[in-house]
Amino acid sequence: MRTANTHKNMARCAATATLACVLGLGLAAPAYADTASDLAAARTKLEQIGTQTQQIYDDLATQTQALDQTAGEITQKQQEIADGQAKLSTYVAGEYKTGGLSLLQVLTGVDDLSDMLNRLFYYGKVSDKQAQTIQEVKELKQQLTDKQAEQEKNVATTQKKVDELNAQQAEAQSVVNSLDSQLQAELAAEAQANAALQAGINASTAEKATVSNDTAGTSENTNKGGGTTNDGGGNTPAPAPTPQPPTPAPAPAPAPTPSAPSQSVDGGSVVSRAYSKLGYAYSWGGIGPNSFDCSGFVGYCLTGRYCRLGTTVDFMGWTRVSDPQPGDVVVNSYHTGIYIGNGQMIHASDYKTGVIISSVAAGMNNNYIFVRY
């Protein structure tokens, strides 16, 4: 839709410049077509950054989940170490009733050589086995601690990328806002130029009509005073042509305005289309029929056609609603989907998951708004 409008703007711009040259009005061709093209490029860049941000947020969530799991495993191993040490101490104290153990205490009360050997063997095996188990758990805990340190480093690196992308997104949004304001100003100036051009056309048409009427009147008077009458076979002068009224000038072409959202979309149909594409693949720039990006998916759901209504930035300019209904649009500056009720939406998520159902509340940054098409 944006591309078509740009082409129309450029065509009208060229026509205006040509007509101005013909009439000698000296009007310069406006440059808003270039601004519109720059604005479209800036919006595309903003959406690309939004997609990258979405992917990095997913990576951060995965890494944070793994870090939490490792921390849980470390806690479990610490408990196993404590339990093993407690069991060893309890066994020794309970078996020999001494509250502690030494080689002399083990041999106290030995009845014969066989009993002594049995006690030494049993004590050595049990204590060695438990001590070995405790050591193995300690080593595993150290491995987990090293793993935790590496994961924390990865999370910090990913968080830095998130911060960088957020800064880029803010900068891109500022560029979009600036270009949008510039485009509106240029459109207003172009509308004034069109009005001045039309006034010149009207004045030129009226002047030509006056000159034509004056010329016709002079010709008629000359014929009446110098012509010969038909009283003996002379020639009778031809009657002067009746002047034609001037052709009405065309109305000036209005400046283009952003297309307003329609209120005639049936929410049930929108939701049905969204469900029909569950499981389909995600692709950057995809508008169907077999793969979609987030805004391409919303465009299909709202219209039933494989087309792009706009970007997430365009959608955020639509009418906001505080009581979202199934079929409304869920959107933030870099992602969008279709609301299906009960706090859920269907959206083209990413390359890994494709078109899925998700909780709106679990969305990135929790900064979604609801708008109605």
Domain membership of residue 131 (yes or no) is yes
pLDDT in 10s for each residue of the chain, 373 residues = 444 444 444 444 444 444 444 344 444 445 566 777 777 788 788 878 877 877 787 788 888 888 888 888 888 888 887 776 666 655 554 554 444 455 555 556 666 666 666 665 655 655 666 667 777 878 888 888 898 888 888 888 888 888 888 888 788 888 878 887 787 777 777 777 777 777 777 777 777 777 666 665 555 555 554 444 444 444 555 555 555 555 555 554 444 433 434 445 788 999 999 999 999 999 988 999 999 999 999 999 999 999 999 999 999 999 999 999 999 999 998 899 999 999 999 999 988 899 999 998 865 556 899 999 9
Q: DSSP string of 195-250? A: HHHHHHHHHHHHHHHHHHHHHHHHHHHHHHHHPPPSSSSPPPPPPPPPPPPPPPPP
The torsion defined by the Cα of 243, 244, 245 and 251, in degrees rounded to 10, comes to -140
Inter-residue long-range contacts of 240-246, CB under 8 Å, 24+ positions, other chains counted: 240/216, 241/216, 242/216, 243/209, 243/212, 243/213, 243/216, 245/209, 246/205, 246/206, 246/208, 246/209
Same-domain check for residues 157 and 280: no
Residue for token pair 């004034």:
192
Same-domain check for residues 190 and 276: no
- pLDDT at 289 (0 to 100): 93
Q: DSSP string of 61-76? A: HHHHHHHHHHHHHHHH
Domain membership of residue 28 (yes or no) is yes
Rounded to a whole number of angstroms, the distance between the first and last alpha carbons of the chain is 15
**Tally of domains within the chain:** 2
The torsion defined by the Cα of 285, 286, 292 and 296, in degrees rounded to 10, comes to 70
- pLDDT, tens digit, for every residue of 166-204? 888 788 888 878 887 787 777 777 777 777 777 777 777
Domain membership of residue 208 (yes or no) is no
CATH number of domain containing 140: 1.10.287
Contacts of 54 (CB under 8 A, 6+ apart): 334, 335, 349, 350, 364
Contacts of 258 (CB under 8 A, 6+ apart): 317
The residue from 152, 170, 197 where one domain ends is 197
Same-domain check for residues 193 and 276: no
Domain membership of residue 15 (yes or no) is yes
CATH number of domain containing 357: 3.90.1720.10
- pLDDT, tens digit, for every residue of 268-308? 999 999 999 999 999 988 999 999 999 999 999 999 999 99
